[in-house]
């Protein structure tokens, strides 16, 4: 299993609700994918302009297919317009 943390920072002046509305469509579609174990948008408790997707995938193949999915190719460019930055890390548990 692999975990992804995709930490986004909104541009100044962007409304959190606008970002969340777009992201909700991405969440709904992504959860239907094979190999998606969990996928959820999170807000930073101390900074509402930080919005982070926390994800769990069966394997790298499933993540790769997700990154080429119709909903990612459609919605992610729209989210990108609202973000100042994004920091993506892919993790494996150390046992």
Interface residue list for a second copy (CB under 8 A): 2-3, 5, 7, 20, 23, 40-46, 50-52, 54, 89-94
- In the numeric block, the tokens 């973000």 are attached to 83
Q: In the complex, what is the shortest distance from the CB of residue 16 to a second copy, in angstroms, rounded to a whole number?
A: 9
On the CB side of 77, CA atoms within 13 Å amount to 6
Measured from the Cβ of residue 89, the count of other Cβ atoms closer than 10 Å reads 9
User: Which tokens in the block code for residue 55?
Assistant: 């994800």
Q: In the complex, what is the shortest distance from the CB of residue 88 to a second copy, in angstroms, rounded to a whole number?
A: 10
Q: SS in 3 state form for 22-62?
A: HHHHHHHHHCCCCCEEEEEEEEECCEEEEEEEEEEECCHHH
Q: In the complex, what is the shortest distance from the CB of residue 91 to a second copy, in angstroms, rounded to a whole number?
A: 4
Q: In the complex, what is the shortest distance from the CB of residue 77 to a second copy, in angstroms, rounded to a whole number?
A: 21
Residue 23 or 79: the one with the smaller Cβ distance to a second copy is: 23
């Amino acid at each position: 299993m692999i975990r992804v943390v995709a930490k986004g920072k909104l541009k100044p002046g962007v409304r959190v609700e606008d970002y969340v509305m777009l992201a909700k469509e991405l969440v709904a579609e992504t959860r239907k994918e094979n190999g998606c174990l969990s996928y959820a948008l999170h807000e930073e408790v101390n900074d509402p302009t930080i919005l982070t997707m926390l994800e769990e995938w069966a394997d790298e193949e499933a993540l790769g297919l997700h990154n080429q999915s119709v909903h990612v190719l459609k919605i992610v460019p729209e989210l990108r317009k609202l973000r100042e930055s994004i920091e993506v890390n892919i993790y494996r548990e150390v046992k």
